[in-house]
């Protein structure tokens, strides 16, 4: 009986997480979640995830942090169509900050969506990923390009 109850509770929790994707995303590391509403009921949800932190040691006063910023694209039914992520490694010490590495990942869901190209770059205290996706339909296809930027302030505030 306890196993059945546990399975029912787990199923309800998983279902709730997929029915309300914006609420689930807002729980990630207490990070602010940005929601942008697009045409035809489409919307994006963008959030930052903590990956790792290396605190200053005796030989350096800089802190090194790796974070990932994700931008999910949803249709009007609340289904994720595609996403783009940028991962950046940053060092900061209170007076300066610098992006030392950037990487990207992009993926699509469903047979009608595909990645055309994706890339990442770094400059100063910023890491950026850019992706172009293709959505096929009965009259051909449409392409959409978007980017996501992760910035670190000199005091380690990420946006």
For the stretch 55-90, pLDDT in tens is 666 555 888 999 999 999 999 999 999 999 999 999
Domains annotated for the chain, with CATH where assigned, are 22-151 (2.60.40)
CA distances from 154 to 63, 73, 94, 151 (A): 10, 30, 5, 10
Least confident of 8-17, 71-80, 116-125: 8-17
Rounded distance between C-alpha atoms, residue 48 and residue 26, angstroms: 10
Q: Check: pTM over 0.85? Answer yes or no.
A: no
Q: Beginning with the edge strand found earlier in the chain, give each strand of the sheet holding 140-151 in spatial order.
A: 113-123, 126-137, 140-151
């Amino acid at each position: 009986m306890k196993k059945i109850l546990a399975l029912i509770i787990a199923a309800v929790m998983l279902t709730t997480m997929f029915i309300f994707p914006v609420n689930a995303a807002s729980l990630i590391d207490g990070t602010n979640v940005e929601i942008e509403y697009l045409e035809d009921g489409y919307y994006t949800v963008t959030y930052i995830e903590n990956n790792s932190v290396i605190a200053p040691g005796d030989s350096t006063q800089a802190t090194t942090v790796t974070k990932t910023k994700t931008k999910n694209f949803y249709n009007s039914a609340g289904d994720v169509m595609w996403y783009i992520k940028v991962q950046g490694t940053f060092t900061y010490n209170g007076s300066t900050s610098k992006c030392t590495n950037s990487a990207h990942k992009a993926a699509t869901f469903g047979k009608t969506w595909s990645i055309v190209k994706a890339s990442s770059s770094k400059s100063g205290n910023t890491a950026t990923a850019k992706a172009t996706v293709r959505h096929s339909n009965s009259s051909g296809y449409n392409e959409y390009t978007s980017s996501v930027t992760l910035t670190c302030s000199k005091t380690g505030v990420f946006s």
